[in-house]
Amino acid sequence: MFKKFEDKECVTGVNQAKSTVQKGIRASLLKIYPHIKDYIDQIVPKKGDLKVVKCREHIEILASAKGEPLFFRHREDKYVPALKLLHKFPFLAPHMQVDKGAIRFVLSGANIMCPGLTSPGARMTKVDADTVVAIMAEGKEHAVAVGITKMSTDEILEKNKGIGVENIHYLNDGLWNMKNVK
Model pTM? 0.89
pLDDT at 120 over 80: yes
pLDDT confidence band for 1 (50 / 70 / 90) = low
Domains 7-87 and 95-170 share a fold: yes
Please compute Rg for the chain using Cα positions: 16
- pLDDT on residue 124: 95
For residue 65, the 8-state DSSP code is: T
Convert the pLDDT of each residue in 73-115 to its tens digit: 998 889 999 999 999 999 999 999 999 989 999 999 999 999 9
pLDDT confidence band for 155 (50 / 70 / 90) = very high
- Per the CB < 8 A criterion, the answer to whether 54 and 66 are in contact is no
The arrangement of secondary structure in 7-87, i.e. its CATH architecture, is: Roll (3.10)
What contacts 7, CB < 8 A, 6 or more positions away?
Answer: 174, 177, 178, 179, 181
- Could you say which of 1.20.1300.10, 3.30.70.1450, 1.10.1450.10, 3.10.400.20 is the CATH number of the domain covering 95-170? 3.10.400.20
Convert the pLDDT of each residue in 133-152 to its tens digit: 999 999 999 999 999 999 99
Domain limits, the chain: 7-87, 95-170
Convert the pLDDT of each residue in 2-57 to its tens digit: 777 776 778 888 899 888 889 999 999 999 998 899 999 899 888 778 999 999 88
What contacts 182, CB < 8 A, 6 or more positions away?
Answer: 14, 67
- Per the CB < 8 A criterion, the answer to whether 88 and 136 are in contact is no
